[in-house]
Structure 1
Amino acid sequence: MSSDDQEHARQLIDRDTIMPWVEVAQGARLNADVLPRLMPPSVGSLLRPVPDNPFSNMAWWCYSLLEAAADHLVLWADYVAPLKVHPQAETVHTLRPIFTLARATIESAAQAIWVLSPEDQLDRVRRYVRLAVWDLDEQTKAAATNEARAELEARRSQILTALGVTRRTFQAPRYLDMILAAADFLDGDDASSPWTSDRVRRIWRSTAGAAHGKRWTDFEFHDREPAGDELVYATPKADAISEVLKLADRYLSAGVIIFAMRAGHWEQFRQLWDDATERLMLRMST
């Protein structure tokens, strides 16, 4: 085996190292519990649908994005910190699945934050429409039949005409732009925040690289130790995993909070969170 080849070795993880992962896991479960209790939006809220409102789906759209974010992080939580553990159970942590699920959480939640963060309702509507048209464009590309594709293209053309743009001039949002906009919204001018745009950009590119099997993430986020006979053992860097998971948790939590605010449920949010905590503790104890 050449020096460029490697074997992934198992290494026991101590409690202090894994504790941030457990905290993220439990936070994901709490957010997933609270989120559906924020629907429907309350009467008079900024997300409450009204008759003949062409943007009546904005609440469900953002809810669906946050639900996807929670689904990804809860799937990871059920693997890394299951509520029921067999005495002989063993959990093996590998880099790429963790980074991939965290990336999906960040991208899904960032879209909802991007739509909901502006104070001006018209700005929120503009962003929602851009996101909806982009989604329709992707659905069109994935259409299973020519008939379905033609129907989707006609619907898209109607929306673009109403917006006064063409397919060529329409600018779809980009994941990185929405992720960085969310980072700026969450921290603003807080110079003391560790979550700078540069750091968030680096983390997101790392998760994308890991999800796509890029070799640079394999080398950068693993510790290597020679094991003789030109064999090298590689183990994922625990700090890198913690960093990625904390950002995913930050975006999911922020998305649920701002959704509660826009949906008119902010006054009940603390009680909803406390109730979810009690339900989680009950699940853990039974």
Structure 2
Amino acid sequence: MTDQASALRSMVRQESSLRRGRFVAVTSGKGGVGKTSVALNLSVFLSNMGRRVVLLDADLGTANVDVLCNLTPHANLAHVIAGRKTLAEATIEGPGGFQLIPGASGLASLAALSSFERQRLIDQMQHLDQSTDMILIDTGAGVGPNVLGFAVNADQVVVVTTPEPTAITDAYAVIKTIVRQRADADIAVLVNMVRSPYEARAVFARIETVCQRFLRVRPRLAGHVLSDPRVALAVRRRRPFVLDSPQCDATRCIGQLAHRLDRDAHEPKGVGLLRRMATWIAS
């Protein structure tokens, strides 16, 4: 364990001098709010903007980005962790040109992995970090270790919610859990499936108010995605809606979010996900 920790410290000392991509965790407090759809379509849009984008399907319980893209991967994250494939070998090209690392539904928990397995994953991600502009991580829903392992350590967290009261409550629970583990976390809220920008601002205002009152933090509004029947149609067709209906309201909303994240990517990144996760492994 001491040797592993020493090697990790050496690796992360080199990180600050290397160009690295921005890690953005896309998460939610509950399922059914469109988190994976947002992560997928955002990846496609950013790729179409000319950015080198990788989408890591880290929803270990119900990994299904490949299904939404009508892809049949021959390797996934489980093969990488087991040492049977490298991250590059498991990566496949998604629609629109982004790179997809398929998830592994059979993995119960990243926290349950051995230190050696977690170190192997970090090692693989180091190479990814140096060749990519943005790495989007589609986490699971809720506040379990699979979610927090990535969300707490990412450069930025996008919390997806909807106007439903339960979704709002659960979004606050996620923010609270992240902030308790990392007070300086960069958290933004995306309100999905709204009828109007006004509704999105009203939902965000509720979350912002309780965060300021009880957590002493102020999340940002990442944006909103309007309810659009073409989103469900694209899911049935197993295509990203930004490609299936490029002129629809939902696509325009995703475009606005993509441009915001792209601007954020040029800001100083601070310590970085790899260094924080290396500390997590060595602890």
- Kindly indicate which of the two structures has a greater share of residues assigned to helix: 1
Q: What TM-score, normalized by structure 2, do the two folds share?
A: 0.28
**Higher alpha-carbon Rg:** 1
TM-score by length of 1: 0.28
Q: More strand by proportion, 1 or 2?
A: 2
